């Protein structure tokens, strides 16, 4: 059994190559086949730069707050308890963003995330 205790999590600040601040990220599980992490997205921030995945679907579940999920030209608001899947091989880049005045928390689940799978 693998356990991830909240009080032992370490978060790192994600940022772009141009120093744009993204979310705070903590890996909960990464066993090679299954990858789960938590994102804390501060007000007015994006979780990442727009990107696609070649080989992996990406499921996001909103734990707290409200986010906008963007894929291509489509923008959908998700609230606590809502979820979305960004499907692999999509031609439209995706990301999610916090437009509220309060932080939002999201759980992200993928299978075997590898750096070559993500295309910015």
The whole-number pLDDT of residue 108 equals 95
The whole-number pLDDT of residue 18 equals 83
**Dihedral sign, Cα of residue 45, residue 49, residue 50, residue 54:** negative
The whole-number pLDDT of residue 25 equals 94
pLDDT band for position 115 (cuts 50, 70, 90):
low
Angle at 23 between CA 87 and CA 6, to 5 degrees: 95
- Answer CATH for 29-113 from 2.60.120.10, 3.40.50.300, 3.90.45.10, 3.40.50.2300: 2.60.120.10
Average pLDDT, the chain: 91
Domains of the chain, by residue range, sit at: 29-113
- The distance from CA 26 to its chain's CA centroid, rounded to whole angstroms, is 11
The whole-number pLDDT of residue 15 equals 85
Q: Is the Cβ–Cβ distance between 55 and 115 less than 8 Å?
A: no
């Amino acid at each position: 059994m693998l356990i991830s205790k909240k009080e032992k999590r370490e978060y790192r600040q994600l940022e772009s190559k141009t120093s744009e601040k993204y979310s705070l990220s903590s890996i909960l599980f990464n066993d090679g086949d299954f990858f789960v992490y938590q994102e804390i997205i501060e007000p007015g921030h994006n979780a990442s730069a727009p990107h696609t995945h070649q080989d992996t679907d990406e499921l996001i579940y909103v734990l707290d707050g409200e986010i906008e999920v963007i894929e291509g030209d489509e923008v959908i608001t998700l609230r606590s308890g809502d979820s979305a899947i960004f499907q692999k091989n999509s031609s439209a880049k995706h990301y999610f963003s916090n437009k509220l005045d309060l932080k939002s928390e999201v759980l992200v689940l993928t299978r075997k995330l590898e750096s070559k799978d993500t295309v910015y």
